[in-house]
Amino acid sequence: MVSEVSRAAGRDAATHQSDTGFHADTTVTLSGWELDNPVIPASGTFGFGKEFAELYDINCLGTFSFKGTTLHPRFGNPTPRIAECTAGMINSVGLQNPGVDEVLAVQLPKLQSYFHKKVIANVSGFSVEEYAETVRRLDECDQIGLFEVNVSCPNVHGGGISFGTSPEAAAEVTAAVRKVTRRPVYIKLTPNVTDIASIAKACEDAGADGISLINTLLGMRIDLKTKRPVIANKMGGFSGPAVFPVALRMVYQVYEAVKIPIMGMGGVSSAEDVIEMMLAGAAAVQIGAANLTDPYICRDIVAALPKTMEQYGITSLREIIGAAHRN
């Protein structure tokens, strides 16, 4: 349990005063859960936080989304899984994780020793039943602040088509998960669609408390020497600074389509990017690929936010959410 003293210390840390007397309030709220700041390392780029906790105090973060968890353990895809790109990277890790039972029995108890805030549980599945059962088991853990449900996975009972490419399939997963947890449910959407707003709206109508976007774009590289795809799976998820304009556009579109909060992500790598994403409509912002090139990036963005807010005359981050739609 987080003590009242710890909560008070967190509130104090989230209100910053510069040498000029400028006050910057970095606090944000996700479905009633107040965060000291909007900076959240994205699932798949931060593990369960242990390696980063050895480098700096990760309690400076708003929270983080832990490694994508499935009902059963997964070894992941064959190697090579990573390909470098201009202004980004392609990965096809394949949801490698120890499975929900080990996450509950081993990983989350360990997490308590170095991270003293609630975390985001990222959940994946290959059938509606798998999603629901994984969330049901994790729901017993008080460390979880909300669920982030990744619907970019292939539906094994639907011909392998991703749940997230169909409003009906995304809504079915949303409704099933909503029934088995008392916590907020955020649906993480794939950008590999023609109308992301309609899918977000279908999730909202099915009971989602929020939306996370974007997941990775689909990309590939070919080795000129071997004349074969670099990734063993041929294609993988493209992420990094190059995708930021696409992510920003989709956050902007979804903000106009739904009334629930949005966690924006995709190519974010600076405090300026965080603010731009919030202007488009994000209530909080996740940082993904940048963690893999600079393990201190999230810490540094948190530290840079107050000065960047002062530079642009922003006293409260909550007040700028969606401001680009009003100006």
- SS3 for 4? helix
Which amino acid, 321?
Answer: I
Output phi, psi for 214, to 5 deg: -110, 155
Q: How far is CA 70 from the centre of its chain?
A: 16
Which of 60, 85, 141, 153 is the catalytic position? Answer: 153
Closest CA to 203 of 231, 167, 232: 167
Q: Is 85 a catalytic residue?
A: no
113: which residues sit within 8 A by CB, 6+ positions away? Answer: none
Is 125 within 8 Å of 134 (Cβ atoms)? yes
Which amino acid, 225?
Answer: K
304: which residues sit within 8 A by CB, 6+ positions away? Answer: 270, 271
The residue assigned the tokens 């909560």 is: 7
The 3-state DSSP composition of the chain as helix, strand, coil percent (nearest 5) reads 35, 20, 45
- The catalytic residues are 153
